[in-house]
Amino acid sequence: MSSPWASDSSLRRAKLLSVFSLVALAVVLSCASARAAVPAAPIVPQAGETGFGAFFWIGLGVVIIVGAAGGLLLLKRLRRYRTLNANKPVPAQAAARPASSVTGNGPGPVLARPKTAVAATTLRPKAGPVANNTNHHPAPRRKKVFNYAKFYTEMVLQGPSPMVGGDPYNGFELDLNRLLIPSHPVEAPKPESNGVFHANADLIANQKALIEEQKRLIVEQARLIEEKTRLIAEKNRLLQRQSELVDNNLL
């Protein structure tokens, strides 16, 4: 979005307004000085004319001073805005402008392609080779060694490919299935059946012992409940006899 202060017409108007205000102020001051220098015939002024003339000149002077001050402020603001716009970075791509081109049918508007801005990093000079020895020769490059173990591990992890054969390698047909399939069959590890069987037998024996212990605890609890019931019955009979004795004594 462009500001109204950025146009040349606004700057031109501000200059004209300031110049006009200064010229008008100079004319008024020169007229006032010339009128004061020339002696005039004594004229008896009327009360209404004297007041109107004074107010007119005072108002005109105030208007001229205010216009000059406004023009100066406007000019300062325009200069400040132009300096700020000059310090701003230019965008990378400019807007497409119509360019005229002569064709067979006559001149017509053609959109010009925007120019791409060159980045600052592309203009930097290339760094030279770093000297690691006293003769200032570039450092020798290390020779790359093919890691066959890593290649074979990746091929085994990826699994067999759907293609039957690969591209010829050093003049011979490369058979991936021959590389992936080992020469002798690999026997699967046998499960340790004896250890698992012994572990299961020990677990079953422990569970049986726990069940027997729980049964014994249940029997003990039942016996304790019977003893408690018998004690409660004896206590009830004792309380009944005591109540009978108390009733007989009271009677």
| pLDDT tens by residue, 209-246 | 999 999 999 999 999 999 999 999 999 999 998 888 88
pLDDT tens readout for residues 46-100: 544 455 667 777 877 888 888 778 878 888 888 887 787 776 655 554 444 544 4
Q: What is the pLDDT of residue 42?
A: 52
pLDDT tens readout for residues 139-189: 667 777 778 788 878 888 876 655 544 454 454 555 555 555 555 555 655
Residue 76 in any domain: the answer is: yes
DSSP string over 42-108: -----HHHHHHHHHHHHHHHHHHHHHHHHHHHHHHHHHHHHHHHHHSPPPSSPPP-EEEEEETTEEE
pLDDT tens readout for residues 105-128: 544 554 455 555 554 444 555 555
Residue 68 in any domain: the answer is: yes
Residue 135 in any domain: the answer is: no
Structural domain containing residue 238: 213-246
Residue 23 in any domain: the answer is: yes
Residue 222 in any domain: the answer is: yes
